[in-house]
Homo-oligomer: A and B are copies of this chain.
């Protein structure tokens, strides 16, 4: 019997193999295809022109690493049934399906009060109905309600295939070689011990490399000051549109689901099915289009923000270790107001301060368990390795100021 089999070219890993009916069904679903229209790295392409890869591509890559990890663990004697194998692959494919336009740049901004992982879950549940329960195990694993906890940890944990792929892929497409991790070596070092995912002792240097690479990606890429400036402009556009709309201005609408979420949606931690459908019609295209339209809007604040973002005439930005002097901020506000012919209140869309940190990436849980040759287990923070300590404990936080000049 011939199994249907497809290979997809991936510049990062070479080839990705699809060979299961459930995986095919997920990939061909419109909810999944929508991820083609969401940039993995939001506006980072304004600094790194190659960083235009999509959420779909990332989730396919994470799926590929999951295939490798499962093969490796099985070769080491860990029991993973066929059902579990397909479920954990389905789970990783869908882990990001709840991302909205411009991913983390607008996280909690467009749809408030609900994290993208919760939306992913709701979408999985909706798909599960259509698929007549074929995602049951995948959902149990995704929500950490499955007995074999290591399966969940492969999807979401300190060393999950999600971050292995995004570091590898983001590093690849930006061309920032400093972010390269040895994903293949890390995967070969994974082991399941007492039901938990761990790393073999001899993998410590790969973990060291992984942590350093991640740190480099934060500073060079994810928190790159120019990217930060662009993403703050995007947030300010959203805020301005909502303020204008609240004052009754109606010519902002561009049609479709965008209008719903911008002007009609109110906070709700659980979406009803109809709202979920609307959410699944949203992607970067809607917002990119709206920004083009609003760049001609009569409101000077809105049109300036939009046309500047569009043409990459970004706000000046400066980063430093200490907060900025308030009087300097006031001065710059005044300048902007004068120059743009707007009120000082409006000038605050162009001149503002804040903190850059890595809260948009999960770092709450730095626990990586190391399994030693003698069978003992130590948390990585208990390992005698100064570089790892440094990487884990060093704060990733800076103050920024954006300004018109």
Task: For residue A273, give the distance in angstroms from its CB to the closest CB of chain B.
Answer: 18
Interface status of A8 (Cβ within 8 A of chain B):
yes
Within 8 A of B (CB), among A380-398: 384, 386-387, 390-391, 394
Within 8 A of B (CB), among A197-227: 205-206, 208-209, 212, 215-216, 219-220
Q: How far, in angstroms, from A42 to B7 measured CA to CA in the complex? A: 21
Q: How far, in angstroms, from A387 to B215 measured CA to CA in the complex? A: 10
Given contacts A310-B33, A387-B390, contact A10 B209 (CB under 8 A): no
Q: How far, in angstroms, from A277 to B30 measured CA to CA in the complex? A: 36
Which residues on the B side are within 8 Å of A390 (C-beta)? 386-387, 390
Which residues on the B side are within 8 Å of A57 (C-beta)? 49-50, 52
Residue of B nearest to A172 (CB): B11
Task: Say whether B311 contacts A30, CB under 8 Å.
Answer: yes
Interface status of A321 (Cβ within 8 A of chain B):
yes
Within 8 A of B (CB), among A161-188: 172-178, 180, 182, 184-185, 188
Task: Say whether B387 contacts A174, CB under 8 Å.
Answer: no
Interface status of A145 (Cβ within 8 A of chain B):
no
Interface status of A53 (Cβ within 8 A of chain B):
yes
Interface status of A298 (Cβ within 8 A of chain B):
no
Given contacts A205-B216, A293-B255, A387-B215, contact A9 B50 (CB under 8 A): yes
Which residues on the B side are within 8 Å of A52 (C-beta)? 52-54, 57
Q: How far, in angstroms, from A216 to B182 measured CA to CA in the complex? A: 12
Task: For residue A198, give the distance in angstroms from its CB to the closest CB of chain B.
Answer: 14
A56's partner among B49, B54, B391 (CB-CB below 8 A) is B49
Within 8 A of B (CB), among A315-374: 321
Interface centre among A205, A206, A289 (most CB of B within 10 A): A289
Task: For residue A118, give the distance in angstroms from its CB to the closest CB of chain B.
Answer: 24
Interface status of A248 (Cβ within 8 A of chain B):
no
Interface status of A28 (Cβ within 8 A of chain B):
yes
Which residues on the B side are within 8 Å of A175 (C-beta)? 9-12, 14-15
Which residues on the B side are within 8 Å of A9 (C-beta)? 48, 50, 174-176
A-B contact pairs, 15 of them (CB 8 A): A7-B185, A11-B173, A12-B50, A15-B184, A15-B185, A28-B313, A33-B311, A36-B46, A49-B60, A52-B57, A178-B205, A205-B220, A254-B289, A288-B289, A321-B384
